[in-house]
Structure 1
């Protein structure tokens, strides 16, 4: 695991993220170069711990090396060297299986569109042309084995919405991992769930209620079963996309729990309505709610992870 100098954040809850090594500036590409990404190495790095992975190097391929490609064959898709057509499918599958078994992470950032690490848009060459709807061999196995793991590539992380979704999920996964790795009791699970209620509600109201049922019955079930069931439903909930309507519902819930004078309440209602109409981003009513939740009487709202899902420095 790479520790970042001057890193920031609560060490126990810092996300552990696997990443394609080339994105950190390591010269492991087939041509001996790298794909350093500034957002990952400068903006995100102070808040996470990186686990660099280059499956092609781990498969024993040198640097520089012959480029790879996916091809369609009668035996199914194969990973081969571009010119000499050496089949590396078995070797890469073994690397992926080993890594997928060992991973204890909160998310993964893959190199976009490569035949090993791409998560979408990877070309596969065949007699009928090129099919570009595929995943890289290594990335596909990792994602299949860890279907609820937050994954993105550096290209998609340039989209502000996709970036915010990914960052929110990896920080939520890190808090969950830290909590479940500790010495917790059912009452501690109640407190953890209480902090995340509004965040879970914004993602999926039905799964939010399912998580609540797991928490409610925690005292009567084996510890390990409760941990497994809560982790699964928590991660499924966080994998669901938020919507404007769900966010408005949560904002109104939080507003209802604040003791505000009529003028301040009216201001918040107006800002929430502006968000609903698409006139302001979600961050505007969220920051206003955080401001009004600073008082001692608003502890429940103030402590909601929905209002601070990740460090403010990572907001657009």
Structure 2
């Protein structure tokens, strides 16, 4: 996050109940897990409750999802006479319009409005059918801005999902800052130069696609190319990076040091990367050693690589992956 474009904190939307506000149907809040609290310390957060936004008030009758997966409605539990589907879905566009700098959203597990996945689905008689739905607001957010990273508080307990979400949020933040400056062929190429190895760590096919995509950047409309480019890049970052894929990038980066450090130092660095690949040490160990060597042997190209610092170190995500 050392790039000048990331001087401001990325902005995340967050379910208002997770931010400590007593906006749930029963007038209570929801205690955030430690990872949500940690993100709140490193990002700017904007609380929002689509059920309050839809005018349901507090306290309010409970609601749930009813119908087929592709034709869900949000109905009151007791009578099924009050349909809040459109009002809650409309809140997605209202949130995005009022918060154009949002680069991600922390949803609320299990919520009929804000659940990311596996939300309870009922039939018209009120009987539980399955845990296979997505909240109406969450689905509307994904439709309104397919690039916006989404996770719920429950899924953020998973280190890999948490790392992917934060990586995408920080990337989207920097992309929005770049767009605000105005896209040009040169800026697109420079942006990808920063993200090249991060993309390689997450999805090699996208890595092989993006280079040729930008090869003729000056011959295409920059905005049109930019849309295709960022959609491919953000989709690549949805894929979980693995120890094997991270190690592949680490070996690539270490190749820039082959003439700068001694044979003994190269062997120690290779051993650390191997120890990471086999699960003996976390990613932060070989990353720290690489940063140490590049501090002593500066390389302007490597210094700009987002892979080395894709998000704030304070999140300690690379201490566990």
TM-score by length of structure 1 reads: 0.88
> In the alignment, is residue 91 of structure 1 matched against residue 91 of structure 2?
no
For 2:185, the equivalent position in structure 1 comes to 186
Structure 1 residues 165, 264: CA separation in 2 closer, same or farther (over 3 Å shift)? Answer: same
The 8 Å contact of residues 17 and 49 in structure 2, kept in 1 or not, is answered as yes
Where relative contact order (Cα < 8 A, 6+ residues apart) is larger, the structure is: 2
Q: Which of 103, 123, 139 is the equivalent residue of 1:106?
A: 103
Measured after TM superposition, the shift of residue 206 of structure 1 is 1.8
Q: What does the per-residue CA deviation read over 1:33-76, in whole Å, with 9 as the maximum and x for residues that have no partner?
A: 11142546642224322222211111111111111111237x94
The 8 Å contact of residues 63 and 112 in structure 2, kept in 1 or not, is answered as yes
Question: Structure 1 CA distance, aligned partners of 2:118 and 2:226?
Answer: 36
Q: What does the per-residue CA deviation read over 1:184-206, in whole Å, with 9 as the maximum and x for residues that have no partner?
A: 54333322221211111111122
For 1:236, the equivalent position in structure 2 comes to 235
> In the alignment, is residue 271 of structure 1 matched against residue 268 of structure 2?
no
Q: How do 1:77-226 residues align onto structure 2 when only pairs under 5 Å count?
A: 77-85=72-80, 86-99=82-95, 104=100, 105-126=102-123, 129-226=128-225
Measured after TM superposition, the shift of residue 13 of structure 1 is 4.8
> In the alignment, is residue 49 of structure 1 matched against residue 50 of structure 2?
no
For 1:59, the equivalent position in structure 2 comes to 54
For 1:6, the equivalent position in structure 2 comes to none
The 8 Å contact of residues 13 and 178 in structure 1, kept in 2 or not, is answered as no
Measured after TM superposition, the shift of residue 25 of structure 1 is 0.7
The 8 Å contact of residues 12 and 178 in structure 1, kept in 2 or not, is answered as no
For 1:32, the equivalent position in structure 2 comes to 27
Aligned residues between the structures: 307
For 1:260, the equivalent position in structure 2 comes to 261
Measured after TM superposition, the shift of residue 99 of structure 1 is 4.2
Structure 1 residues 138, 185: CA separation in 2 closer, same or farther (over 3 Å shift)? Answer: closer
| Secondary structure of 1:286 counterpart | helix
The 8 Å contact of residues 110 and 153 in structure 1, kept in 2 or not, is answered as yes
Measured after TM superposition, the shift of residue 132 of structure 1 is 0.8
| Secondary structure of 2:65 counterpart | strand
Question: Structure 1 CA distance, aligned partners of 2:183 and 2:218?
Answer: 12
| Secondary structure of 1:265 counterpart | helix
Question: Structure 2 CA distance, aligned partners of 1:94 and 1:211?
Answer: 34
| Secondary structure of 2:170 counterpart | helix
Question: Structure 2 CA distance, aligned partners of 1:219 and 1:226?
Answer: 10
Relative to structure 2, which stretch is displaced further, 101-110 or 229-238? 101-110
The 8 Å contact of residues 22 and 29 in structure 1, kept in 2 or not, is answered as yes
For 2:304, the equivalent position in structure 1 comes to 303
Question: Structure 2 CA distance, aligned partners of 1:267 and 1:277?
Answer: 15
Runs ≥4 residues deviating over 6 A: none
Question: Structure 1 CA distance, aligned partners of 2:171 and 2:6?
Answer: 14
Question: Structure 1 CA distance, aligned partners of 2:50 and 2:228?
Answer: 32
RMSD over aligned Cα atoms? 2.4
Question: Structure 2 CA distance, aligned partners of 1:204 and 1:42?
Answer: 29
Structure 1 spans left out of the alignment, 5+ residues: 1-8
The 8 Å contact of residues 13 and 175 in structure 1, kept in 2 or not, is answered as no
Relative to structure 2, which stretch is displaced further, 186-195 or 55-64? 186-195
